[in-house]
Amino acid sequence: MKTDIKLSEFELDVMNILWQAGKASAPEVHEKIKLDKDVSYSTVKTIIDRLEQKLALTRADQQGRTIYYAPAIEREALSTPLLKGFLKRMFAGDPHKMVAQLLANEQLDNNEIEQLENMLAAQKVKNKHSTKK
């Protein structure tokens, strides 16, 4: 699976719609994206065609003349390298600085804090087991 794909912010917006929907036609993507962006249908269709050329999307179905597109790559295949690059560029590769910035600027409710605590506890267990090998 190709994971070195570079996507623009707009392309990521389209991908997010398709990751959420599973599959969608260009008119459906346009309807969703125009809630946040003032863009024409032809612009959205151009982005979809570009994503198909980059092998990020595939034609999943066709009903009459309507083509349905689906993601050809998993969200994690893009988010992991993007996050690593962001961490390196914005926080000099230091995850502590990134988490501190997040906590300083986001109002987390108790449920979100508990989820973070559970993730940290799971990471501690994982680290403990990896050092015993």
- Rounded CA-CA distance 37/34 in Å is 5
pLDDT band at 128, cuts 50/70/90?
confident
Q: How do residues 82-94 score in pLDDT, each as one tens digit?
A: 888 888 899 998 9
For the chain, what's the residue count? 133
- Rounded CA-CA distance 39/124 in Å is 46
Beta partners for residue 68, in sequence order = 25, 61
**Domain 1-93 - what CATH class?**
mainly alpha
Domain boundaries, given as residue ranges, for the chain: 1-93, 94-133
Task: Report pTM.
Answer: 0.71
Residue 20: per-residue pLDDT: 96
